[in-house]
Amino acid sequence: MKDNFGREISYLRVSVTQRCNLNCVYCGKIECAKKDSELSPEIIEKLVRAFAKCGINKVRITGGEPLVRKDICEIIGRTREIEGIETIGITTNGVYLSEYANEMKKAGLDSVNISLDSTDGSTYRHLTGSDVLTKVLEGIDAAERAGLAPLKINAVLMKGVNSDGAGELINIARNRKIDVRFIELMPFSDDGEDSSLIVTGDEILREFSFLKPMQSEEGTAKYYSAQGFKGRIGLINPITHKFCSDCNRIRLLSDGKVKPCLGYDTVYDIMQYIDCESSLIEEIKKIIMNKPSGHSFESESAGHGLNKTGG
């Protein structure tokens, strides 16, 4: 369905947990997120079904880290059964991907986005607080073998921290059928982000001038390629090129609250309608209708780390 600004809202990001097994420097402090406040697969199915009846056809499962949930395959399987849901993707840090890739594919998962900010072991450890780069790289291989596609790597570059590793990340797209996407650092951590750390999409294009724009623009990413590349390079520039006028997404948080815009703290509790689908649909429609026109990251922090809302 369309919101008040004529945008077709068709994409639901479902955060299934606030828990995470990593502690990324830009993602906000991890509080003791509680497992018992998470929604069961049955409740997630009920909610997503209601969203599907409001025009949602694409679901991305995220977190926290979605693969810390042992019932992740049941969540995927139940989502797969919902009429109207055409594609299901997951965003993961990849640490448990080698364990789950096959099972998730069988449950109905289409695609995987893996967050990987560096291919250098010590930089990776510094960024995430964990020495698990090898596990993540094995996870990427396992996802590829399982036939999960498209496979995308998401990287956030920070000047003087991991920006010198951009070339190595780009080489992954050169050598494999994997898209590597650079996301501009957003001001989410509880201390606020130092804007001097941001590596903009334009800076990446200046440094890697062999990247040539492709026609394809999918959602928030603009894609580039180069001679001989098997995968694409994507730039997601929420800071320097606002894409709110094309925003087609809405978020379901791990406690059942709905967040219509990442840039605002406003959330809506729809759990009180869980046993009455018609009321649930009516509430969701109202929330979609009133989705804000855009964020204001350039002037202020959104206040909540993506570990809470799902990236």
Residue 181: how many other CB atoms lie within 10 Å: 21
Interface region with ligand SAM, contact rule CB under 6 A, candidates 42-50, 98-106, 140-148, 181-189:
181-189
Interacting residue with ligand SAM among 12, 20, 59, 270 (CB under 6 A):
20
In three-state secondary structure terms, 218 is strand
Interacting residue with ligand SAM among 11, 14, 26, 143 (CB under 6 A):
26
88 contacts ligand SAM (rule: CB under 6 A): no
Interacting residue with ligand SAM among 62, 119, 162, 225 (CB under 6 A):
62
- Contacting ligand SAM within 150-169 (CB under 6 A): 154, 156
Interface region with ligand SAM, contact rule CB under 6 A, candidates 75-83, 163-171, 223-231, 303-311:
303-311
Interacting residue with ligand SAM among 10, 18, 115, 118 (CB under 6 A):
115
Residue 66: how many other CB atoms lie within 10 Å: 27
201 contacts ligand SAM (rule: CB under 6 A): no
Question: What is the distance between the alpha carbons of residues 277 and 288, in angstroms, rounded to a whole number?
Answer: 16
In three-state secondary structure terms, 221 is strand
Enter the tokens of residue 79. Answer: 């989502």
Site string for ligand SAM, 32-51 (x = CB under 6 A): --------------------
Interface region with ligand SAM, contact rule CB under 6 A, candidates 39-47, 62-70, 96-104, 258-266:
62-70
Interacting residue with ligand SAM among 91, 118, 119, 254 (CB under 6 A):
91
CB 56 within 8 A of CB 11: yes
CA-nearest of 276, 291, 309 to 50 is 276
Q: Please say which residue, 27 or 180, places its beta carbon nearer to ligand SAM.
A: 27
Which segments of the chain does DSSP mark as H helices, in order? Answer: 41-52, 72-80, 97-107, 121-128, 133-146, 166-175, 201-207, 277-289, 306-309
Which segments of 163-301 does DSSP mark as H helices, in order? Answer: 166-175, 201-207, 277-289
Residue least distant from ligand SAM (Cβ): 311
Pairing of strands 221-225, 212-218: antiparallel
Q: Please say which residue, 91 or 225, places its beta carbon nearer to ligand SAM.
A: 91
CB of residue 122 to ligand SAM, shortest distance in Å: 19
Total residues interacting with ligand SAM, rule: CB under 6 A: 20
CB of residue 146 to ligand SAM, shortest distance in Å: 18
> What one-character-per-residue DSSP string does 172-190 give?
HHHHSS-EEEEEPPPS-ST
182 contacts ligand SAM (rule: CB under 6 A): no
Question: What is the distance between the alpha carbons of residues 288 and 250, in angstroms, rounded to a whole number?
Answer: 8
- Interacting residue ranges for ligand SAM, rule: CB under 6 A: 20, 26-27, 62-63, 65, 91-93, 115, 154, 156, 183, 185-186, 188, 306-307, 310-311
